[in-house]
Structure 1
Amino acid sequence: MIEPMLRSCGWRQGREWYMFLNICVHMFMQYISSDFLAFSVSREIQFT
């Protein structure tokens, strides 16, 4: 599904954009998970 879109906008450019998007998603996920962990830990401390 994604590859035809990448080819239409230039395979090389599309591939670099895809890599960039991948990195952004990865960083975002890491940020969310670490933020969630900190939130749950602080909540645990509040409850006890």
Structure 2
Amino acid sequence: MRYVLPFSILASPVLAHDGGHLHPHGSETWILLSFLALAGAVILAVRK
């Protein structure tokens, strides 16, 4: 869980392209982030 916050900050559409402005294609990064978060949750669930 400690890695989710840094990834979400890096993946923020606001920070995409040097944080100057919003871009609609920032959502692609959020799709990747949600996939990584889901994969991490599955791994943690399996390990317990």
Interval containing the TM-score (normalised by the shorter chain): 0.5 to 0.7
Unaligned runs of 5+ in 2: 1-11, 15-20
Unaligned runs of 5+ in 1: 37-48
TM-score (norm 1): 0.54
CA distance in 1, matches of 2:39, 2:22: 25
Higher RCO, Cα 8 Å, sep 6+? 2
Encode CA deviations 1:8-35: one digit per residue, 9 max, x unaligned. 34211x1000000000000000000000
The number of residues matched between the two structures is: 31
Matched, 1:21 2:28: no
Larger Rg: 1
Matched with 1:10 is 23
TM-score (norm 2): 0.54
Following TM superposition, where does structure 1 have runs of at least 4 consecutive aligned residues deviating by more than 6 angstroms?
none
Tell me the C-alpha RMSD between the 2 structures.
1.7
| Richer in helix (by share) | 1
